[in-house]
Structure 1
């Protein structure tokens, strides 16, 4: 019924005409000449003219290193990602070597700043397991009664709604911040899968499966248990998902969603508002939503390139994409380029290496080969088409969507899974900003408005 009502509103001819008239009115008096950004030395996107980020704060949580400055020029290097000073590659390798799940360990590291002992980790996993349960009737009231085709919308609404179930939601002391953070981290996987099941029932008219998590399972295992109709999965599948969660857990205070969480936190607002703001940021296709767009792009390539093994055909298609003639006509090659990484994104390198082992000999291997061609060919095509010498590399979104496909995770869960993994990083940044930031984040905007007199209603002309 809700969907029919929404459709009737959007298809209302009189409303469409009214909106068109209002848009025309807006265009008459609203335009900013792009040249003014250079004229007033505006740092668009909070970026300096050399592409580096404007320094806006200090953090001990994460470092994203993708280039070095040599005599004022940016020099590409292999990217390095560290959580609290520990190389994420070492964190992943350690978990693989011991054949254990590592996302919970990464959560501890991000929140507390040091690797946990075995006993600390076991106790922490028990605490997380104890916080999984949703409030009474939360599923019915917040998800079943208000389904959405977009899971990120449902995640954001659900996080905001949890405010109402917290006895001290506005408390900003460290103990309360940590309690709220742990509760959110534990509940996000449950909300994410439940939101997908509700969407599946409401919009796809398919059966809805709602399983209970197991307290002896890792977060990665429970996500697959909750998602699969039969609750079954392999150890290899769970380990691959666990690796994805680790790699997505954090990416520095300057990334768009973490910064959104810090901006809201700096105003003194509550934890739920801050994390919901981060979710809204991650939803965008220029941020977390890019993994969804990569899979969409892959479908365009498979339909538009007769022989994907022919590099020239792929190059020609990519050139047309960059010109806005193919794909979604945005001119973007999703999964390519990053604000910091220049030569390589360590997350993409790790994902690609391990996922290819599992994809070998399967029907997904061909898709990997296509994305590998996109990764190899895009820098040259971009340089030829745009005349740019900027170093670009594949980012984590290039392969994460395909890994999720290999794990039989539905396409529309990609970004929601990213949000679930990133929640520990957001919470760590919120705690750090609340305890040590000390000032509301308030950058300046140059006003281009001009003075005009107030005109009485009777004297106004259209």
Structure 2
């Protein structure tokens, strides 16, 4: 006789209580063994786990022999991100392809090299015959990040050299994934929108003459049309999300999985699984949901006192998702400022004006100004709090008309570049599996015969 689903759930609930009881570790042991939770010191600095030439993040400087908080700095291959952005915007061209070249190969391309590289990415921006129909269309899902993982793992079955770990082959696989990620993400969304939301189905081919940012907008929109400023700010979003040191969760996952000797597709699928978490790449959608919640529950969003009181409720786990977090505020590394948010802020204002959403931008700016004060009054914080890149990225994607389901996949379309660079760096330099230690704090126990339990 088949058991009732309620009875099954009852059993699972009971077992989960046993699991909670026997898996809890007393916090005193973490201090006793000097274990850094989250592999971070009390001041937020990450435990040093490796070396890299790919990017550098700085939030503190040594002044008079003391570490002192400073304005955040982010460098790609030794070059300040603000200089890189200023460079391609002054040249009036899209930056994603140029910065991809820089991160992968360690140097800025010449005009000829950049032209050839753009063509290489365009040539690789194609999927196997019937792939969209047989893989993407047949099992649509709202969770586009999981769809991306499945699509990446399925691509492995089309690769005759899937397990070849030579740098040439891994680079070839990486370039393929960088090129097709926009197709995998947007086509997965179109399949979901058609199947679950009953919308018309649009599967556009990419245009080899267009940049990555332009192609994303072309693939997504029914009429394939977009404005120059829309493509420019999406391009900027991609550049700002491409790389952020070897210690961020998804990139560290990439290093760990690469070190085991597995293939590129499995490694990227693991990184995708990390990125989709709400504490990592999924934070931008949480910002958007939080801002909607504030508007729905604060009577007058122009009243700073009402806004501050509601933000305090969020921190006290009395409002929004009751997790006690003001999403988009604070960062594991940065304290005074996140340079990516600084860059974003200027261009977000321009896009808001272009879209007639200046009041919405002012609302975001107000929350950005009030939240650190509320956090400081409600929490015992060890460092400053400022807006991070996720605070504005969700607003940008909203203005671009991107559906919520694509917010984190857009992050992945950018971060696949950083993952690829770090995978190659790990393969070249380490050749040793990453295997940190965990200390058992349970103590010895004796086996008890089943009749005596």
TM-score range, shorter chain: over 0.9
Q: Return the match for 1:91 from 68, 84, 87.
A: 84
Q: How far 1:15 sits from its partner (Å)? A: 2.1
TM alignment of 1:235-384, pairs within 5 A? 235-360=228-353, 362-384=355-377
Are the structure 2 counterparts of residues 71 and 170 from structure 1 closer, same or farther at C-alpha, using a change threshold of 3 Å? farther
Which position in structure 1 is the counterpart of 2:161? 168
Mapped contact 2:29–2:441 kept (Cα < 8 A): no
Are the structure 2 counterparts of residues 135 and 362 from structure 1 closer, same or farther at C-alpha, using a change threshold of 3 Å? closer
Which position in structure 2 is the counterpart of 1:188? 181
Distance in 2, Cα, partners of 1:72 & 1:153: 47
Distance in 1, Cα, partners of 2:385 & 2:370: 11
Distance in 2, Cα, partners of 1:49 & 1:73: 16
Mapped contact 1:383–1:389 kept (Cα < 8 A): no
What's the CA shift string for 1:187-242, capped at 9, x where partnerless?
10110100110111121111110000011111111111000000011111111111
Runs of 4 or more, structure 1, over 4 Å off, are: 69-74
Which position in structure 2 is the counterpart of 1:5? none
Mapped contact 2:194–2:200 kept (Cα < 8 A): yes
Any unmatched runs of 5+ in structure 1? 1-8
Which position in structure 2 is the counterpart of 1:213? 206
What's the CA shift string for 1:377-412, capped at 9, x where partnerless?
122111111233521111000000101111111122
Aligned to 1:81, the other structure's residue is in SS state strand
What's the CA shift string for 1:273-327, capped at 9, x where partnerless?
1111111111001001000000000001101112222211111111111000111
Distance in 2, Cα, partners of 1:174 & 1:84: 19
Mapped contact 1:67–1:340 kept (Cα < 8 A): no
Q: State which drifts further: 419-428 or 144-153.
A: 144-153
Are the structure 2 counterparts of residues 389 and 451 from structure 1 closer, same or farther at C-alpha, using a change threshold of 3 Å? closer
Distance in 2, Cα, partners of 1:141 & 1:447: 47
Q: How far 1:141 sits from its partner (Å)? A: 2.5
Q: Return the match for 2:9 from 8, 16, 23.
A: 16
Are the structure 2 counterparts of residues 305 and 431 from structure 1 closer, same or farther at C-alpha, using a change threshold of 3 Å? same
TM-score if structure 2 supplies the norm length?
0.96
Q: Return the match for 2:221 from 212, 225, 228.
A: 228
Which position in structure 1 is the counterpart of 2:388? 395
Mapped contact 1:62–1:81 kept (Cα < 8 A): yes
Which position in structure 2 is the counterpart of 1:147? 140
Q: How far 1:362 sits from its partner (Å)? A: 4.3
Distance in 1, Cα, partners of 2:63 & 2:36: 21
Distance in 2, Cα, partners of 1:387 & 1:311: 23
2:443 equivalent to 1:450: yes
Q: Return the match for 1:77 from 70, 88, 92.
A: 70
Q: State which drifts further: 95-104 or 11-20.
A: 11-20
What's the CA shift string for 1:58-95, capped at 9, x where partnerless?
10000111122457754221111111011111111111
Distance in 2, Cα, partners of 1:93 & 1:398: 22
Which position in structure 1 is the counterpart of 2:128? 135
Q: How far 1:354 sits from its partner (Å)? A: 0.8
TM alignment of 1:37-48, pairs within 5 A? 37-48=30-41
Which position in structure 2 is the counterpart of 1:4? none
Mapped contact 1:67–1:76 kept (Cα < 8 A): yes
Distance in 2, Cα, partners of 1:373 & 1:318: 12
Mapped contact 1:50–1:74 kept (Cα < 8 A): no
Aligned length: 451
Distance in 1, Cα, partners of 2:211 & 2:231: 9
The CA RMSD measured in Å over matched residues stands at 1.6
Any unmatched runs of 5+ in structure 2? none
Q: How far 1:16 sits from its partner (Å)? A: 1.3
Distance in 2, Cα, partners of 1:305 & 1:74: 40
2:185 equivalent to 1:202: no
TM-score if structure 1 supplies the norm length?
0.95
